[in-house]
Chains A and B, each alone.
Chain A
Amino acid sequence: MARIAILIVAAALLPPVAAAGDEMPAVARKFLAANCLACHTGDHAQANIRLDRGEIDWATQESITKWNRVYDALEREAMPPQDAPRPSSADREDMVDWLYRELMRNSDVGGTVPRRLNRQEYENTVRSLFGMPGFELPDAFPADDSKHGFDNVGEGLVLSPPLMAQYVALATELADEILPPDTGPALVQSKVYQLGTGGLAVEGGGPVEGGSFRLVSSRNMASAAAWPARFEAPQSGVYRITIDAAPFQTDRMFYDRRASAFRLSIYARPKTDQVYAPFGEIRKLAEFEVDPDRIAPQALTAEIELVQGEIFGIRWEDGPAHSDPPSREYSRAFLADRLTRDRLYYAAMLKFQGGQRGTTQSQVYEATRSLMESGELDLNDPRLDKLPEVWGGGLSNGPHNWIKAFVHEELLRFGPAVDITDLEIKGPLRLIEDDALRERKARTRQFLGNRPPGSTDRDHAEAVLRRFLGRAFRRPASEAQLRDYTDLVLWHLEENSDARPEDGLHLAVRRALVSPNFLYRGLRPGPLDAYDLASRLSYFLTSSPPDGELAARASAGSLTDANVLAEETERLMGDERSGSFVSSFTGQWLSTRWLRGIMPDPRLLQFGDPDRVAMIDETELFFAEIMRENLPLQLFIDPGFSYRNARLNKIYGGDLQGNHMRRVAFERGGRFGGVLGLASVMMATANGVDTHPVLRGVWVLENVFGDPAPEPPPDVPAIAPDTSGTTSIRDQLAAHRADQTCARCHNRIDPLGMVLENYDPVGRWRDHYPVYTKPPDGAEALKQEYYSTVGKGAVAGPAVDSVGILADGTRLQDAAALKRYVLEHIDMFSQCLTEKLLVYATGRPLSFGDRRVADRIVASVARKGNGFRDLIIAIVQSESFATR
Chain B
Amino acid sequence: MDRPDRRRFLRGVGVSLALPMLESWAPRSASAAGAERAPLERLVCIGTYLGFHQPDFFPAQTGPEYVCSPVLKPIESYREELTVYSGLDHRGRNGHLGWKAWMSGSASGSVSMDQLVAAKVGEHTRFDSLQVTCGNPPDPARLSFTKEGVGLPMIGRPSVLYRTLFRSAGDSARIDYLLATNRSVLDGVTEEAKALERSLSASDRAKLGEYFASVRDVEKSLEKQRIWLDRPAPKVEYPLPEFDPVAPDLALECESIMYDLMALALTTDSTRVLTFLVPGWSQVFTIGGRKLSAGYHGLSHHGNDPVRIADYNLVGIEHVKRFGLFLDKLRAAKDSGGRPLLDSTAVVFGSGMGNANTHDNSNLPTVLVGGGFRHGWHRRIERNGPSPRLLGDLYLTLMQRFGIDIDEFAGAKHNLNEDLV
A160 touches B308 (CB 8 A): no
Chain A residues whose CB sits within 8 angstroms of the CB of B199 once the complex forms:
524-525
Shortest distance between the CB of B127 and any CB in chain A (Å)? 14
Query: For the complex, is B401 an interface residue (Cβ under 8 Å from A)?
Result: no
**Whole-angstrom distance between the alpha carbons of A523 and B201 in the complex?**
10
If A358-B294, A358-B308, A484-B188 touch, whether A165 touches B218 (CB-CB below 8 Å) is: yes
B171 at the interface (CB under 8 A from A): no
Closest-CB distance, B244 to chain A (whole angstroms): 7
A223-241 CB contact bits vs B (8 Å, 1 = yes)? 0000001111010000000
Contact A271/B247 with A161-B148, A356-B305, A357-B303 known, Cβ cut-off 8 Å: yes
Q: Is the CB of A790 within 8 A of B192?
A: no
- Among B142, B188, B245, B298, which residue has its beta carbon within 8 angstroms of that of A230? B245
**Is A528 positioned at the interface, with any CB of B under 8 Å from its CB?**
no
B246 touches A160 (CB 8 A): no
Contact with B along A517-535 (1 / 0, CB 8 A): 1011001110000000000
Beta-carbon contact of A272 and B204 below 8 Å? no
B218 touches A358 (CB 8 A): no
User: Given known contacts A162-B148, A357-B303, is B246 in contact with A272 (CB within 8 Å)?
Assistant: yes
A154 x B207 contact (CB < 8 A): yes
Contact A168 B182 (CB under 8 A): yes
Which residues of chain B come closer than 8 Å to A869, judged between CB atoms?
Answer: none
Distance of A231 Cα from B245 Cα, bound (Å): 9
Which of the segments B10-18, B38-46, B208-216, B336-344 contacts the partner chain? B208-216
The answer to whether B152 touches A516, judged by C-beta atoms less than 8 angstroms apart, is: no
Query: Given A229-B249, A230-B245, A271-B246, do A357 and B210 touch, yes or no (CB 8 Å)?
Result: no
| Contact B204–A160 (Cβ < 8 Å) | no
Q: What are the residues of chain B within 8 A of A519 when measuring CB–CB?
A: 211
Convert A267-278 into 0s and 1s, putting 1 for each residue whose CB lies closer than 8 angstroms to a CB of B. Answer: 000011011100
Inter-chain contact A232/B148, CB cutoff 8 Å: no
Q: Considering the chains assembled together, what is the distance between the CA atoms of A360 and B299 in angstroms?
A: 12
Of A134-142, A323-331, A370-378, the one contacting chain B is A134-142
How close is A724's CB to chain B, nearest CB, in angstroms? 17
Asked whether A113 is an interface residue with its Cβ less than 8 Å from the other chain, the reply is yes
Q: Do most interface residues of chain A lie in helix, strand or loop, or is the interface mixed? A: loop
- A164 and B181 contact, Cβ closer than 8 Å, known pairs A511-B189, A516-B211: no
B249 contacts which of A203, A396, A481, A524 (Cβ < 8 Å)?
A: A203
Contact (Cβ within 8 A) B249 A525: no
B181 to A: closest C-beta gap in Å: 6
Residues of B within 8 A of A171 (CB): 185
Contact A516 B193 (CB under 8 A): yes
When distances are taken between beta carbons in the complex, the residues of chain B under 8 Å from A139 are 137, 139, 153
The yes or no answer to A809 lying at the interface (CB within 8 A) is no
Of the residues A142, A514, A525, contact of B185 by C-beta under 8 Å? A514
| Pick from A154, A596, A790: contact of B303, CB under 8 Å | A790
Q: Does B359 contact A (CB under 8 A)?
A: yes
A488 touches B153 (CB 8 A): no
Q: Mark B146-170, 1 if CB is under 8 A from A, else 0.
A: 1010111110000000000000000
A contact set with B: CB distance below 8 Å: 111, 113-114, 138-140, 142-143, 154, 158-165, 168, 171-172, 181, 203, 222, 229-232, 234, 271-272, 274-276, 311, 356-360, 396, 481, 484, 488, 492, 507, 510-511, 514-517, 519-520, 523-525, 596-599, 602, 688, 790
Q: Add 20 more A-B contacts to A511-B188, A514-B185 (CB < 8 A).
A: A138-B153, A139-B137, A139-B139, A154-B207, A160-B148, A160-B210, A161-B221, A163-B214, A168-B182, A229-B250, A230-B243, A232-B244, A234-B243, A357-B305, A358-B305, A396-B294, A488-B188, A511-B185, A524-B196, A688-B95
- Residues of chain B touching chain A, judged by Cβ–Cβ distance below 8 Å, are 94-97, 109, 135-137, 139, 142, 146, 148, 150-154, 174, 178, 181-182, 184-186, 188-189, 191-193, 196, 199-201, 203-204, 206-208, 210-211, 213-215, 217-218, 221, 242-250, 281-284, 293-294, 298, 301-303, 305, 307-308, 358-359
Ranked 6 nearest A-B pairs via Cβ = A140-B153, A161-B217, A164-B214, A160-B148, A142-B150, A159-B210
Pick 7 A–B contacts, CB within 8 A, sort by A.
A163-B150, A165-B218, A165-B221, A481-B192, A488-B188, A511-B184, A516-B189
